[in-house]
């Protein structure tokens, strides 16, 4: 089965209001860190969305950091996917 391999550090997004900054780094294990201004209300939904993107792209090893400033779910998913794809560029 195809697995996305993260080869380099990559970033997507910004720290602007209603956005999220996602950073990904190579690792043999999966580690996800989420900071959010709305974590009390939406922390579980944010984590679920991040994990779904990781699963859909078959990523099983990386360090992924999300700094959320109130991004909509579609924005969050796009930022995570973009950071992951940037981190594996050249591996296709």
d(CA 68, CA 17): 9
Report, at the CATH architecture level, how domain 10-87 is classified.
Answer: 2-Layer Sandwich (3.30)
**Closest Cα to residue 24, out of 46, 53, 2, 56?**
53
What pLDDT does 75 receive?
Answer: 98
Quick: pLDDT tens for 55-70: 999 998 999 999 999 9
How far is residue 62 CA from its own chain's centroid? Answer: 10
H/E stretch holding 21 reads strand 20-25
Task: Give me the pLDDT at residue 48, please.
Answer: 98
Q: What is the mean pLDDT of the chain?
A: 94
Per-residue pLDDT at 92 exceeds 70: no
Q: Domain map of the chain by residue range?
A: 10-87
Residue 49 CA, distance from chain mean position: 9
């Amino acid at each position: 089965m195809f697995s996305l391999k993260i080869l380099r550090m990559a970033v997507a997004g910004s720290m602007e209001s209603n956005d999220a900054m996602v950073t990904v780094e190579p690792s043999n294990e999966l580690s996800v860190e989420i900071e959010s201004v709305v974590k009390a209300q939406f922390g579980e939904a944010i984590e679920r969305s991040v994990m779904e993107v990781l699963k859909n792209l078959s990523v099983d090893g990386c360090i992924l950091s999300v700094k959320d400033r109130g991004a909509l779910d579609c924005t969050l998913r796009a930022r995570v996917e973009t950071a992951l794809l940037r981190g594996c560029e050249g591996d296709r």
